[in-house]
Chain A
């Protein structure tokens, strides 16, 4: 049980990083982007690409796999993932926004998701890959559980990033503008908030967090082209659970979904793993569709 909770916390951090991006895009741009989970996969593979293209070693930092090489690769991957998010928006979503009903936009995002996932498959192959083949030793917590140092790192970094994002949205002028656009786009536009700026910043945050999440998944688990496909339901479950537009809610949602999954797997055969976040999602939609925490008005109805 303790072991399940320990594993759940690091998986939860990865889900939360994806869910924070999804919830911002849903809350501010009012767009449910099913390609978002593929941005995670893209970010993870872009870091791998940077490492293999430059010949850099992932390196290590004390007990952690996230060494200087991998940190640099992750930063480049974040830029490349933001670029992908912006290009997808420019080429597809922006052309449709306001012209078709918004569910057609959702449909288009499924098409984009297919393209991104299978381009990765085409470029990198379908088999599992790792950033480094170095062996790492687990930390033992008494006799109760053993955790990998990387899992702890992922958990801590995610909390710090979420804190930073919360501070940005709460206290900076741009953050205020974003929250204003989420509550009332027309009124915020009248007050001089430019939609293009909001669009750019939202995709930048979403893309950067997605890339970070993808790299963390690669570090703690492995890279496969279907990572995003597997994480899509947990991410959306976390975002809806947390209240659409609520970043702290998405963080909590990520942990709740991962912990429920980890604990449920003690009894449920692991073949059904993917169905657990789906059941959580159905329960939330049935019992409390607005989420556990307060969302923004642009989100859930």
Chain B
């Protein structure tokens, strides 16, 4: 396989994993209006949980249960979902800002645990030498990459189909009803707090699953993979595509990941060596600008939420 083709497969696999995180955020923000400023935290919880569960036994580390990858995936979903449940229980009774602050705190705290709890997470060295699924079947790096890409696509497709179904269900209508008009939903005898908690937990679980997929793909996790800016990359993907649209999330993931890696490559070519660190700041400024400009000038994003039946719908 030529270099460019190999890179494209890598690029698309990561974009696919990000698209799965975006699906999780779409449930929370796009369909329910819940702000999550700590996306990277739930993703990291999934990645590390999977790594601890599937990793080989090591004397200096907790874990190393050597479970099959499916077990790691399940554990990742459960752990991230539980973290989501705790945050939701503490903050969802309160006004929406507090959820934003609390999730921001979760994002930071998870990173601190990843860096400091060396006995569990390997500290700054991370957890390495993790088994990768399908590796034994494929043997060859190029074949593994293609097979894993297909695997990520299948998972993405399954989540997409499940969410599309969920959104059309009565429960999905209830989500949007609560997002649009909390009081009206309550007056119909629905419990917004409960539905919000369910939605937040499902979204967090999906983010955890994406973390497990990352672990399985790279075979290595370390704190550098979960820097805070990732949260806002995911947000940019969601709103550029159009929150409330599943297709939009996938398109947004591709576009923003292309902008991120493209601008990174360009800057590393253009900027002189002594200014490399500062040049990488331009990438983040770009993400910030994309977020602010999209909110200001194109709140529906590129694709946007499909129109509901009701004609008099307020903009989300």
Smallest beta-carbon distance B266→chain A, Å: 15
Residues of the B chain whose Cβ atoms lie less than 8 Å from the Cβ of A240: 98, 101
Best-buried of B33, B37, B106, B288 by chain A (most CB within 10 Å) = B288
* Contacting pair A232 B116 (CB below 8 A): no
Of B101, B228, B287, B296, the residue contacting A281 (CB under 8 A) is B101
Contact of A112 among B93, B109, B115, B292 (CB under 8 A): B292
B6-14, B52-60, B131-139, B277-285: which lies at the interface? B277-285
CB contacts (< 8 Å) of A42 on chain B: these are none
Contact A114 B287 (CB under 8 A): yes
Of the listed stretches A60-68, A148-156, A163-171, A272-280, chain B binds A272-280
Tell me the residues in window 88-136 of chain A with beta carbons closer than 8 Å to chain B beta carbons: 92, 95-96, 100-104, 106-108, 110-115, 117-119, 121-122, 125-126
For the complex, would chain B's binding face be called helix, strand, loop or mixed by DSSP majority? helix
A112: which B residues are within 8 A, CB to CB? 288, 292
Query: With a CB–CB cut-off of 8 A, which chain B residues contact A176?
Result: none
Please determine whether B285 and A114 come into contact, CB atoms closer than 8 angstroms: yes
Residues of chain A lying within 8 A (CB to CB) of residue B37: 34, 110
Number of residue pairs spanning A and B whose beta carbons lie under 8 angstroms apart = 124
Once bound together, how far apart are the Cα atoms of A117 and B109, in whole Å? Answer: 20
Interface residues of A in 245-301 (CB under 8 A from B): 269, 271-272, 274-275, 278, 281-282, 285-286, 289, 300-301
Partner of A95 from the list B100, B277, B287, B296 (CB cut-off 8 Å) is: B296
Closest chain A CB from B100 CB (angstroms): 6
In the bound complex, do residue B292 and residue A111 qualify as a contact, i.e. CB atoms below 8 Å apart?
A: yes
Contact assessment for B35 and A282 in the assembled complex, using a CB-CB cutoff below 8 Å: no
Q: Which B283-300 residues have a C-beta within 8 angstroms of A?
A: 284-285, 287-289, 291-292, 295-296, 299
A301 to B37 CA separation, bound complex (whole angstroms): 20
Kindly report which residue of chain B lies nearest to residue A95, judged by CB atoms.
Answer: B296
> B315 at the A/B interface (Cβ < 8 Å)?
yes
Q: Is B91 an interface residue (CB 8 A)?
A: yes
Chain B residues positioned under 8 Å from A110 (CB to CB): 37, 232, 235, 291
Q: Taking the complex as formed, is B218 at the interface, i.e. its CB lies under 8 A from any CB of chain A?
A: no
Q: Give chain A residues whose Cβ lies under 8 Å from the Cβ of B228.
A: 229
The CA of A101 and the CA of B228, in the complex, are separated in Å by 25
Chain A nearest CB, measured from B270 CB (Å): 14
Other-chain residue from A100, A115, A121 in contact with B292 (beta carbon distance below 8 A): A115
Interface residues in B99-114 (C-beta closer than 8 Å to A): 100-102, 104-106, 108-109, 112
By a beta-carbon cutoff of 8 Å, the part of chain A in contact with chain B is: 26, 32, 34, 92, 95-96, 100-104, 106-108, 110-115, 117-119, 121-122, 125-126, 229, 232-233, 236, 240, 269, 271-272, 274-275, 278, 281-282, 285-286, 289, 300-301
Other than the given A108-B296, A281-B101, 11 more pairs (CB < 8 A) read A34-B100, A100-B315, A103-B33, A107-B35, A107-B235, A108-B295, A112-B288, A233-B108, A274-B108, A282-B90, A289-B94
- The contact sample of 10 A-B pairs, CB cut-off 8 A, is A32-B101, A103-B35, A108-B292, A113-B288, A114-B232, A115-B289, A125-B278, A233-B101, A272-B112, A285-B90
